């Protein structure tokens, strides 16, 4: 569990770690830009005001967010021709995100991202029972994790916004009042930095991440199978048929999971392989082993085959979950009017390993009172 973080070149505005969101949502010193889309996006969910917030940088790149789940709604960066391209899948209305069938677009997931086996874990001899919302397991904090929470928002200039929320003790079974902040910074060199922080008043488990769906050719532009992906990981964590890690750390060499050199995502995705069959494609955690850059591990590089947009991911986390959009099935309509068709988006989630609370050999996700969970990931955009 990270207790410290190197906050290089970022002016953050972390707010109200100890405050708890109850009743009506409050927005502190937060403003939306003049973007007319805010007028049609904003709404009310469960009595809370849900708004759209916009960050811009000096190069013209733009990112929009909503306080419902502290989500990324859009992220527009230049392609190889200099045209701004929205590389994050999302929706035009706040109400569209309040969808239990497709709940994770762009959102922060927690207090424990990814899966916990059989909806149970034990701390100091006490067993905690969670809702099982993914077969026999708990996924992304349960039915009402932080992805369905109305977070407080506070802007700090044109390029930084902080969301804060306190998950009440025993919500969805997790112990402790867990006070969380997530700060997004859009830098002038087209990087989106995400800084996470959490404290608790009772021993608990914390594993926060962002669940953005990316298509570097642009939202609604078609398949991601021709994107080139490199993951700086020599091993991955194989899973059982319910997608819970077996506890092994298996070398990727000689398997379809070898992304140590860049390759098209679709090259091996249909190979006959038990792990691919379990995930119906890639839905696995990779054990990161990349070089350090400014204190962060270089986790992955993704390139859009049509746009030339290149995304490099750097993180303090030990793992990266690669999900190849295997369950996208045209259930929702995206911002540009296109459907979320099969494998038209992918997720690259920086994280601790799935089911860590039940696997002592994995890096710990336990957070105790008096400690601070603090970690950072960066998504840097260039072109080639």
> Which residue among the candidates 48, 172, 349, 352 is catalytic per the annotation?
349
Residue pair 199/181 in contact by the 8 Å Cβ criterion: no
Would you say 326 and 269 are in contact if contact means Cβ atoms under 8 Å apart?
Answer: no
Q: Which of 147, 211, 227, 298 is catalytic?
A: 211
What is the spatial distance between Cα 47 and Cα 95, in angstroms, rounded to a whole number? 12
Nearest to 221 by CA among 355, 89, 35, 371: 89
Task: For residue 210, list its beta bridge partners.
Answer: 108
Residue 298 appears among annotated catalytic residues: no
Half-sphere exposure for 314 (CA within 13 Å, toward CB)? 16
Query: Could you tell me the CA-to-CA distances from 99 to 21, 251, 332 in Å, in that order?
Result: 21, 38, 9
Tokens representing 51 are 């708004």
Question: What distance in Å separates the CA atoms of residue 143 and residue 48, rounded to the nearest whole number?
Answer: 18
Supply angle C-alpha 102, 173, 363, rounded to 5: 85
Cβ neighbours for 342, distance < 8 A, ≥ 6 positions apart? 325, 326, 328, 329, 330
Q: How many helices (H) and strands (E) does the chain have?
A: 2, 29
Burial class of residue 173 in the structure, from the number of CB atoms within 10 Å of its CB (0-12 exposed, 13-18 middle, 19+ buried): middle
Considering only CA atoms, which of 40, 59, 58, 60 is closest in space to residue 50?
40
Q: Is 349 a catalytic residue?
A: yes
C-beta separation of 354 from 244 below 8 A: yes
H or E stretch covering 121: strand 120-123
- Written as six digits, the tokens of 361 are 């050999």
C-beta of residue 162 within 8 angstroms of C-beta of residue 30 = no
Q: Write down the H helix ranges in 19-150.
A: 37-41
Catalytic residue IDs:
211, 349
């Amino acid at each position: 569990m990270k207790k410290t973080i190197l906050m290089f070149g970022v002016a953050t505005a972390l707010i109200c770690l100890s405050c708890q969101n109850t009743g009506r949502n409050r927005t502190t010193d937060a403003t939306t830009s003049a973007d007319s889309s805010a007028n049609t996006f904003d709404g009310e969910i469960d009595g809370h005001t849900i708004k759209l917030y916009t960050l811009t940088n000096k190069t013209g790149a733009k990112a929009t967010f909503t306080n419902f789940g502290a989500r990324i709604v859009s992220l527009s960066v230049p392609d190889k021709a200099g045209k701004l391209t929205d590389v994050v899948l999302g929706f035009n209305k706040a109400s569209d995100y309040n969808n239990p069938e497709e709940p994770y677009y762009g959102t922060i997931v927690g207090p424990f991202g990814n899966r916990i086996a059989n909806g149970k874990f034990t701390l100091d001899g006490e067993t905690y029972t969670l809702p099982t919302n993914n077969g026999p397991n708990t996924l992304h904090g349960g039915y009402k994790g932080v992805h369905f929470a109305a977070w407080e928002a506070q802007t700090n200039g044109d390029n930084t916004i902080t969301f804060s929320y306190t998950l009440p003790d025993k919500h969805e079974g997790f112990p402790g009042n867990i006070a969380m902040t997530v700060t997004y910074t859009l830098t002038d060199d087209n990087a989106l930095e995400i800084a996470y922080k959490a404290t608790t008043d009772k021993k608990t488990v914390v594993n926060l991440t962002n669940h953005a769906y990316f298509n570097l050719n642009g939202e609604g532009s078609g398949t991601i199978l021709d994107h080139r992906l490199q993951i700086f990981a020599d091993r991955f964590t194989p899973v059982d048929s319910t997608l819970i890690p077996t506890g092994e750390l298996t070398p990727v060499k000689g398997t379809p999971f070898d992304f140590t050199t860049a390759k098209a995502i679709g090259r091996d995705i249909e190979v006959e392989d038990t792990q691919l069959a379990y995930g119906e494609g890639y839905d696995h955690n990779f054990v990161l082993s990349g070089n350090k850059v400014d204190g962060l591990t270089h986790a992955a590089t993704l390139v859009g085959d049509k746009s030339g947009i290149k995304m490099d991911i750097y993180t303090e986390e030990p793992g990266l979950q690669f999900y190849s959009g295997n369950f996208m099935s045209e259930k929702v309509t995206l911002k540009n009017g296109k459907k979320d068709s099969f494998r038209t988006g992918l997720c690259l989630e920086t994280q601790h390993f799935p089911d860590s609370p039940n696997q002592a050999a994995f890096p710990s996700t336990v957070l105790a009172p008096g400690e601070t969970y603090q970690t950072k990931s960066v998504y840097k955009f260039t072109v080639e």
